[in-house]
Amino acid sequence: MFGSRLRAAMDEHGPLCVGIDPHDHLLEAWGLSRTVEGLRKFSLRTVTELAGNVAAVKPQSAFYEQHGSAGVAVLEETLAACREHDLISVLDIKRGDIGSTMGAYARAYLDPSSALAADSITVSPYLGFGALEPAFGLAEAHDRGVFVLALTSNPEGAEVQHAQCGEAVDGFGGSVAGSIAGQVAARNWAHSPQEPGRFGLVVGATIGSAARELGFDPTDCKGPILAPGVGAQGAGIRELIDVFGSEAIADNQILATTSRAVLSAGPDGVRAAARSLNESLTQVG
């Protein structure tokens, strides 16, 4: 199952996930043009350098989509390279819609017959958690993972995620974020009671005490937690422990995500930067 496969990769390669975010300034710093060909060279070199050194990579779809169909073709190549190198992909698309539209998104990114299929994707539950059912169903059918946005680190997110929506349920508090976490937990317990769940949360590494103040522990979701914000955004091992606790980190439940802290090292420094940051994230004691 995806949850067990991800946990095994983290056991072997550490907790780091590197975002493939081809910003224009990074392309220039790598000596590449701000073109589709520059995008291609950047992405494929990143995958090659990181394979066998990190548990996963997280291509950000928007940086490819902005180049139109040629950019999407590069994203297809990048995902294929991940498969070739046995490197777990978390495609950051944050899709969330209803009915047949969500079904089409799910087929695009989770059906193995699609050139855009990834090992896992990010989704947004803010059209209703139940609207994500097509993604959950295909993830089950094809052994993929789904990370649901719960508590993000951007300040604007609090107006929705921190809002109170009713009584606390099953220990997850009465907030919108707590409700999402509780529903992910229920799904994991129903579908994978004996092993790590395939359904996870996105919880920012820089949120501090926000989850505690909202009355829930995101690690109770029984699935992996994608934690953006490590490195250039200010989070390190101390911040991860503050948000998630040392036990969840030691158990490799937290997939700590960075981008600039590794990619800014340049093509010849990516591997060493990833290894160094990875090592720093294992110093729990």
* Active site members: 94
Task: Kindly provide the b/e burial profile for residues 104-117, where b requires at least 16 CB atoms within 10 angstroms of the residue's own CB.
Answer: ebbbbbbeeeeebb
d(CA 188, CA 33): 44
d(CA 233, CA 239): 11
Q: Is the dihedral of CA 39, 43, 46, 48 positive or negative?
A: negative
The interaxial angle of helices 270-280 and 36-50, nearest 10 deg, is 50
Say if CB 239 and CB 227 are below 8 A apart: no
Give the CA angle between residues 54, 55, 57 to the nearest 5°.
80
* DSSP SS3 for 270: helix
Q: Is the dihedral of CA 111, 117, 119, 123 positive or negative?
A: negative
Give the CA angle between residues 163, 166, 171 to the nearest 5°.
95
d(CA 131, CA 233): 31
Q: For the chain, first and last CA: distance in Å? A: 30
How far is residue 201 CA from its own chain's centroid?
A: 8
